[in-house]
């Protein structure tokens, strides 16, 4: 993905780090490390608090693996989240940014809830990609890890764009082999926001009330926490001013439109280059 497109949870550090501090978080679990953008911020936080970061990612980048030896408070678990979480145990805060689909996120939240309840720790989770495009559309890094009954029809080559729910063949924002999109957007059990909402509904049915804030920037940050947590007012103070803020949402939409336009321009110039090359080679053969 181009650096033109900021996408790391580290962009939310100015909110997440004060929230961890306010919650007195010491043991933090991060699902999805990639290049370690957020991991480095969490490692600095752990250093400051004599805490610990457990970073779960079955396939992080070389840059993350090269950085690890210099981060003594970080443990890397090279497994998919749903395999790793039960053996990791409870933590004070969870950052969820691994495989962005309903099945994975809904079940991650379920396991996290169990772990917190078992040890009597309040739940605090930061959920990335609750906005467009993953909020209402699954994406799959490894479709084979999702049970068939929960997996939507998917496509590696097509892309998404604003203003349409249709997938665009070889156009739009796409994974280029790294991940696939669900062919259809919306509907039940589809997308990260839907997973969060379904989890909140389950908690409500169990008589557990949770707060949910949505910061509509950088693909969307959801913040979930127990309403009876001792630090709930401090957390509300941090996130309420950003919750569904229309100006932030407008800036995010503008950012996405500009990025999608760049992808269109890049695609058009790639087509032109191929045409020129084909023209030259047929000209050479004549």
Which ranges constitute the DSSP H helices of the chain?
A: 13-22, 37-49, 62-67, 81-88, 102-119, 192-205, 232-239, 246-285
105 binds ligand SAM (CB under 6 A): no
Q: Does position 9 bind ligand SAM by CB under 6 A?
A: yes
Give the nearer residue to ligand SAM in terms of CB position, either 33 or 235.
Answer: 33
Q: What is the CA radius of gyration of the chain?
A: 20
Residue 102 near residue 191, CB atoms below 8 Å: yes
Q: Is 81 in the site for ligand SAM (CB under 6 A)?
A: yes
Under the binding rule (CB under 6 A), the answer on residue 138 touching ligand SAM is no
Region from 57-65, 111-119, 236-244, 264-272 binding ligand SAM, contact rule CB under 6 A: 57-65
Q: Hey, what are 151's tokens?
A: 């997996």
Which sign does the torsion angle of CA 209, 210, 216, 220 carry? negative
Asked if 40 touches ligand SAM (CB under 6 A), the answer is no
Residue 8 in the binding site for ligand SAM (CB under 6 A): yes
Q: Which residue in the set 23, 45, 52, 60 belongs to the binding site for ligand SAM (CB under 6 A)? A: 60
Contact letters for ligand SAM, residues 141-170 (x by CB under 6 A): x-----------------------------
> Cα(100)–Cα(107) distance, rounded to whole angstroms?
12
User: Secondary structure of 37-101 in the HEC alphabet?
Assistant: HHHHHHHHHHHHHCCEEEEECCCCCHHHHHHHHHCCCEEEECCCHHHHHHHHCCCCEEEECCCCC
Binding segment toward ligand SAM, per CB under 6 A, in 97-105, 130-138, 163-171, 258-266:
97-105
32 contacts ligand SAM (rule: CB under 6 A): yes
Residues that bind ligand SAM (CB under 6 A): 8-10, 31-34, 37-38, 56-60, 80-81, 97-99, 104, 141
């Amino acid at each position: 993905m181009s650096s033109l497109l900021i996408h790391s949870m580290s962009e939310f550090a100015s909110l997440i780090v004060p929230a961890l501090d306010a919650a007195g978080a010491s043991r933090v679990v991060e699902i999805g490390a990639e290049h370690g953008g957020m991991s480095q911020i969490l490692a600095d936080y752990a250093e400051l608090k004599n805490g610990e970061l457990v970073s779960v990612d079955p396939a992080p980048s070389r840059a993350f693996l090269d950085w690890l030896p210099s981060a003594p408070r970080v443990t890397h678990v090279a497994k998919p989240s749903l395999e790793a979480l039960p053996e990791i145990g409870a933590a004070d805060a969870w950052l969820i940014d691994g495989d962005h689909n309903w099945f994975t996120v809904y079940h991650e939240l379920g396991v996290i809830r169990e772990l917190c309840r078992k040890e009597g720790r309040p739940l605090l989770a930061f959920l990335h990609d609750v906005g467009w495009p993953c909020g209402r559309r699954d994406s799959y890094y490894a479709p084979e890890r999702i049970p068939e009954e929960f997996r939507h029809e998917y496509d590696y080559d097509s892309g998404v764009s604003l203003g349409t729910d249709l997938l665009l063949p070889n156009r739009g924002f796409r994974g280029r082999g790294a991940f696939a999109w669900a062919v259809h957007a919306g509907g039940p059990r589809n997308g990260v926001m839907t997973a969060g909402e379904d989890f909140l509904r389950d908690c409500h049915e169990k008589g557990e009330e949770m707060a949910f804030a949505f910061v509509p920037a950088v693909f969307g940050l959801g913040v979930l926490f127990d309403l009876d947590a001792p630090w709930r007012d401090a957390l509300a103070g941090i996130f309420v001013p950003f919750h569904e803020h229309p100006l932030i949402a407008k800036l995010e939409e503008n950012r996405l439109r500009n990025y999608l336009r760049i992808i269109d321009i890049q695609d058009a110039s790639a087509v032109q280059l191929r045409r020129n090359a084909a023209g030259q080679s047929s000209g050479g053969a004549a």
